Amino acid sequence: MVLILTGFTLIALIDLIPLIRQHAKSGIAAFSIVFITALTLAILQINKVEVPSVLILLGDALKALGISY
Amino acid sequence: MNRRIRLVASVILLPVLIMLLSSCWDNHELDTLFIVTGVALDKADDPEQLDITLQIGKTKSNTSGSGESNSQQDSTILLKTTAYTMMEGLMEFNRDSSRTLLLQHNQVLLLGSALAEQGIKDRIDLFLRDHEARMEVLVMIADGRADKVLSAKLDQEKISGMFLAREMQDLYAVSPYYKIRMLDFASRLRDGITSPVAPIVAMEETDNKQEIKFNGFAVFKDGKMIGRLNNDEVMGYIWAMGNVKKCGVVADCDMGRAVFQIINLDTERDVTLRPDGVVRVTLSVNATLNIGELRGFKGKTSQDLMRYLIDLAQSEIRRKITDTFETTQTLNADIYGIGTSVHRKYPKEWKEFKNRWNELFPDTELDVQVQVHLPTTGQIIKSMEMEETRRED
Amino acid sequence: MRIDKGQISGTQFMFSVACFIQASALLATFISTVTLQDSWLVLLFGAVLCLPLIWLYRTLMVMFPDQNLLQILVEVYGPVVGKVIGVAYIWFFFTLASLNLTDLGNFTKLTIMQETPNMVLALMCVLVSAFAVRNGIKLVTRYSTLFAVITFILLSIGIILILNQIKLENFLPMFDQPFGKYVQGIHIISTIPFGELVVFLMIHPYVKLSRRNTTKYLLLGFGLGVITILGVLLPNIGVLGNLLDIFTLPTLVILRLVNLGMALSRMEIIFAVILVMLLFFKITLLYYVSVLATAQLFKVKAYRHLALAAGALIIAYGFTLYPSLVEHAASAQEITPFLWTPFEILIPLLTFCIAKLRKLPKTSKEMAKEQEV
């Protein structure tokens, strides 16, 4: 947990600060979307929360539609 | 300024990289390993269980053995246990010993004949699955108990596992069909049509000397050992499969005894379906032989003799191949892969044959055609005995 | 708008394509478990059937020489629909990168480092990749030539060493399986290694190429890739025969069987080297493309600042995808071909048709005219 948080803090320090300095709004937006998704996924997994697999869900959906081998 | 930052950064980075990149998780040091050179599986008193014996080649003369090991010789350690599966056995060994077992250099998997008769299909999973397992491990059947073979004290080689591997390497030079690797064995076991075979070895004790003898082939069907071929029949099998590089052919007749050396023997196989549904196999054997030794043959001129010897060799090869084929038909075990040949040539008909192959194989007809060439006679053209007859003329 | 200022040469482009396909070669179990001894035929058929697909990509590259896939989409479908499809593509790129990263982790574990945690392997790979991605396309593709050549050399050595164990009869009988299996095999081969070339639509603006050379280099790269896969598949089938489909990594098994005069044996390290090298390349490229696409969507100039965060996402996302190799393989055989079809075949085709109908791209003259009106 500590390691993960340190890692993410480092990423934020390295990349977010220059973005804020440049006042690149779209950049900050893009960064935060990617960053927050990654952080959520990481924290969920660290806490042993089962994150549903997108691919398996999609696969089940396709199977339900009858599209599969 | 910039330079100083770089220096500091690299000083911090280097130890981090050294710690991360040295793959601390997978370090194996030689003196913490037990290098397994042979595995023997035997039937235990409880049919569900296995008697597992591991032979470990010592890396040093003074190794710390485990509780259960009994130091046989200076160069090997035998570990024994009884477990339901191979993996459980390995776990037990690892728990009770001071070192980690390394299966990667395992040379041979020996199966006791009692276990082989009981069935081995569900016993070899680990040897395919484990990431240390190699498909080139030799599979052999031990006459009687397999652990006896592993514990044999040999004069020729200190470690019996290595002995078996080297012996097989020699036989491999004779014909690739002698050497049964895990790959070949498992492939046939899975096939269900071609019966697996495996060499039989036995430990024999004479005059306080222990020797390992090669005792023919074991024939399997449905994962169980159902019979065996003796050494002569193995020859017939090897010749029928072709690709023989060196081997002796011994022919005996009323005139004398002739021993030939095979220089090259190739067999072409052709299967045909007769209209009445019988499979007919034609084996065209093409052999180049050398005369190895002659005894007898009095009163033959050398030209006559050559013709006579060719006939003799041909009928001998044909006889051995036919004999072996008949034995396998009585066992109803298609060790040649004739079914597979039919499958490859007649894929449509095969769909129907597949389920009836057990009934069809014993009725299969065999036709052996042998072509023998005797290009040279060795260092002499005539033999001592022949020379005498000429003088009498 | 060009985010990355770098440019690469045609040869580098070609070897990148080759490397990208080669990376899938060692993992070709996906088709060999479906079509067994006929896999090589399926591969050849698939390659031939994919030629129109490659031509389609090439045409898109030539039609829009200065725009990457996301820009093309916006231009063809308009800003809203274009962006929605763009988001789907970004998901596709991230998923591909994550899948390959998990592959790298799993297979390195199977081959050389059994006890090293997946996390560490993934982290090491992504850190190095991130460095390349931050430095742009030039660094990403720089080593493609080297990787492709090393792969060729090592693979040839491997094949030569295993040559004596190939049994030709293992290739027989041909065409023995039900027809459906062949369709499935061709579908898998065309979507999993070949169709993934769609990612090159993201980087073609950075290639210094004329119209004719695009075709040449793309097809050459594709050809090299196909030859490599063939070079992997043929020995696999020839050596393993009917055991082909039970192994997770057939190539590893056959390299372990190499045994020439007791001295030349245990060659599986070749496999590990190639595997790690090629997968690293593929991951880096996919990673780069994901970052680039994200930056493009948000119109961010400083794309390099997204690299580390995207890397973290790829790792975290990768661990959620498949619980085990078995499900990964099953899904790759049954579901993924259908899942990827829209991204790799349908949307590019549709884009091409609409672009033709709407007479896109507008030349600068037409643009000027429109503005006057």
Q: Which whole number is the average pLDDT over B46-57?
A: 85
Does residue C345 sit within a domain? Answer: yes
Report pLDDT digits (tens) over B246-303. Answer: 888 888 888 888 888 888 888 888 888 888 878 888 989 888 888 888 887 777 777 7
Q: What is the CATH number of the domain that holds C257?
A: 1.20.1740.10
All residues at 6 or more sequence positions from C299 whose CB lies less than 8 Å from its CB, including other chains: A26, C1
Can you spell out the DSSP letters for C94-107?
HHHHHHHHHHHHHH
Indicate whether C1 pLDDT > 70.
no
Judged by a CB distance cut-off of 8 A, whether residue B100 touches chain C is: no
Token reading at C69: 């896939």
Helix, strand and coil content of chain A, in percent to the nearest 5, comes to 80, 0, 20
Indicate whether C20 pLDDT > 80.
yes
Order the strands of the B248-253 sheet from edge to edge. Answer: B248-253, B256-273, B279-296, B365-376
* Residue C57 distance to chain B (closest CA, Å): 40
pLDDT of residue B387: 56
Does residue A69 sit within a domain? Answer: no
With H, G, I as helix, E, B as strand and everything else as coil, classify residue B45: coil
Q: For residue A27, list chain C residues with Cβ-Cβ distance below 8 A.
A: 298, 300-302, 305-306
Beta-strand (E) ranges in C16-163?
A: none
Indicate whether C202 pLDDT > 80.
yes
Does residue C16 sit within a domain? Answer: yes
- Output the CA angle B342-C257-B328, nearest 5 degrees: 35
Does residue C1 sit within a domain? Answer: no
Q: Do chains B and A have 3 or more beta-carbon pairs under 8 angstroms?
A: no
Token reading at B17: 């990289």
Comparing CA positions, the residue from C105, C16, C93 lying closest to residue C287 is C93
With H, G, I as helix, E, B as strand and everything else as coil, classify residue B258: strand
Indicate whether B388 pLDDT > 60.
no
- What is the rounded distance in angstroms from the CA atom of residue B41 to the CA atom of residue B112? 6
Which has more pLDDT, C187 or A49? C187
Strand partners, B270: B282
Report pLDDT digits (tens) over B126-167. Answer: 888 887 778 888 888 988 888 888 888 877 777 888 888 888
Structural domain of residue C266, as residue ranges?
A: 10-372
Indicate whether B71 pLDDT > 50.
no
Q: Which of C295, C308, C323 sits opposite A30 (nearest CB)?
A: C295
Confidence of residue C369 (pLDDT cuts 50, 70, 90): low
CA C181 to chain centre: 23
Mutate to test the interface with C, among B18, B25, B35, B345 (most CBs of C within 10 A): B25
pLDDT of residue C283: 92
- What is the rounded distance in angstroms from the CA atom of residue C50 to the CA atom of residue C185? 13
Q: Which whole number is the average pLDDT over C189-213?
A: 84
- The conformation of residue B205, written as its DSSP 8-state character, comes to E
Indicate whether B67 pLDDT > 70.
no
Indicate whether C178 pLDDT > 70.
yes
* Residue C101 distance to chain B (closest CA, Å): 18
Does residue C3 sit within a domain? Answer: no
Does residue C26 sit within a domain? Answer: yes
Q: Which of B25, B181, B191 sits opposite C115 (nearest CB)?
A: B25
Structural domain of residue A43, as residue ranges?
A: 2-64
pLDDT, chain C, mean: 83
Q: Kindly tell me the burial class for residue C80, based on how many C-beta atoms sit within 10 Å of its own C-beta (0-12, 13-18, 19 or more).
A: exposed
Contact status, residue B4 vs residue B23, Cβ threshold 8 Å: no
Pairing state of beta strands B197-206 and B138-142?
parallel
Indicate whether A10 pLDDT > 60.
yes
Which has more pLDDT, C273 or B73? C273
- What is the rounded distance in angstroms from the CA atom of residue B85 to the CA atom of residue B191? 24
- What is the rounded distance in angstroms from the CA atom of residue B354 to the CA atom of residue B332? 15
Q: Which of C110, C169, C175 sits opposite B131 (nearest CB)?
A: C110
Report pLDDT digits (tens) over A29-68. Answer: 888 888 888 888 888 888 887 778 888 888 888 888 877 7
Total domains in chain A come to: 1
Report pLDDT digits (tens) over B333-348. Answer: 888 888 888 888 888 8
Residue by residue, what is the 3-state secondary structure of C158-204?
A: HHHHHHHHCCHHHHCCCCCCCHHHHHHHHHHHHHHHHHHHHHHHHHH
**Contact yes or no for B25 and C243 at CB 8 A:** no
As a whole-number percent, the residues of chain B with pLDDT over 90 amount to 0
With H, G, I as helix, E, B as strand and everything else as coil, classify residue B346: coil
From chain A residues 16-45, the ones with a CB under 8 A of any chain C CB are 16, 18-19, 22, 24, 26-27, 29-31, 34-35, 37-39, 41-42, 45
ipTM for the predicted complex comes to: 0.89
Tell me which of B34-43, C26-35, C141-150 is least confident: C26-35
Confidence of residue B25 (pLDDT cuts 50, 70, 90): low
Confidence of residue C287 (pLDDT cuts 50, 70, 90): very high
**Contact yes or no for C256 and B343 at CB 8 A:** no
Mutate to test the interface with B, among C167, C239, C243, C267 (most CBs of B within 10 A): C243
CB pairs under 8 A between A and C: 109
Neighbours of chain C (3+ CB pairs under 8 A): A, B
Q: Which whole number is the average pLDDT over C214-224?
A: 88
Domains and CATH numbers, chain B: 29-229 (no CATH), 231-393 (3.30.300.210)
Total domains in chain C come to: 1
Contact status, residue B104 vs residue B134, Cβ threshold 8 Å: yes
Contact status, residue B219 vs residue B227, Cβ threshold 8 Å: yes
Confidence of residue B62 (pLDDT cuts 50, 70, 90): very low
Query: Dihedrals φ, ψ of C324, to 5°?
Result: -150, 165
Mutate to test the interface with C, among A55, A56, A68 (most CBs of C within 10 A): A55
Does residue C2 sit within a domain? Answer: no
pLDDT of residue B63: 46
Comparing CA positions, the residue from A50, A19, A7 lying closest to residue C313 is A7
Indicate whether C105 pLDDT > 60.
yes
Comparing CA positions, the residue from C198, C177, C205, C246 lying closest to residue C21 is C198
Q: For residue A56, list chain C residues with Cβ-Cβ distance below 8 A.
A: 321-322, 327, 331
Tell me which of B42-51, B58-67, B133-142, C298-307 is least confident: B58-67
Q: For residue B187, list chain C residues with Cβ-Cβ distance below 8 A.
A: 240-243
Q: Which whole number is the average pLDDT over B65-71?
A: 44
